[in-house]
Amino acid sequence: MASPVFDLKEESHGVDHKPNIYILYSFALAFDRYEYIIYSPMRRIITEKRLAQYAEKFPRAKASLAHWKKTVLASPWQKTADVKSSFGDVDTVKVNSGQTVFVFNIQRNAHHLIAAIHFDRDTVYVLRLLTHKEYDKYLWKNQL
């Protein structure tokens, strides 16, 4: 009996401004059937303007923020483990409101991006961008 063959293909659907959709094609050779599962990348970052403003204020963080943005928009995250596979040093933190947020290290821990991720909506909300010194004060935990 032949084992299934998996092929990850990228389809852009002719839209330049949207992230590509990744489709996992599964061919079950023994049963001669064709299946596919659509993995949709994160579609929105709210707000990207905040990223641009922070990069303008802290130019050294610009490249790291651009990498973070590109990775987020291309990643088909469906759970916390998926985020950790993209960013190995991301932390999850429970804040004062009881919600869990994700803390990303930017520019090798010189800055921190705090975000809420809504997997069901394919949306990442940028809640705070902080220098390491601001982050260490932990005021943000009580504000969120």
Model confidence, pTM: 0.72
Residue 39 CB-half CA count within 13 A: 16
Q: What value does the mean pLDDT take over residues 86-96?
A: 94
Return the SS3 of 15: coil
pLDDT digit string (tens) for 23-46?
444 444 444 454 544 556 668 899
| CA–CA dist 92, 100 (Å, integer) | 6
Residues 34 and 99 in one domain: no
- Cα 38 to Cα 25: distance, rounded to the nearest angstrom: 9
pLDDT, tens only, 47-74: 899 999 999 999 999 999 999 999 999 9
Domain that holds residue 127: 44-143
- Judge if 86 and 32 occupy the same domain: no
Residue 8 has pLDDT above 50, yes or no: no
Find, among 136, 73, 139, the residue nearest to 127 by Cα: 139
Q: CATH number of the domain that 67 lies in?
A: 3.30.2310
- 109 backbone φψ class: left, alpha, beta (φ>0; ψ -120 to 50): left
Q: Tell me the average pLDDT across 101-128.
A: 95
User: Do 58 and 12 share a structural domain?
Assistant: no
CB 45 within 8 A of CB 124: yes
Q: Which residues, at least 6 apart from 137, have a Cβ–Cβ distance to it below 8 Å?
A: none
Q: How many structural domains compose the chain?
A: 2
Does the pLDDT at position 9 exceed 60? no
> In this structure, which amino acid lies at residue 101?
V
Query: Is 37 strand, coil or helix?
Result: strand
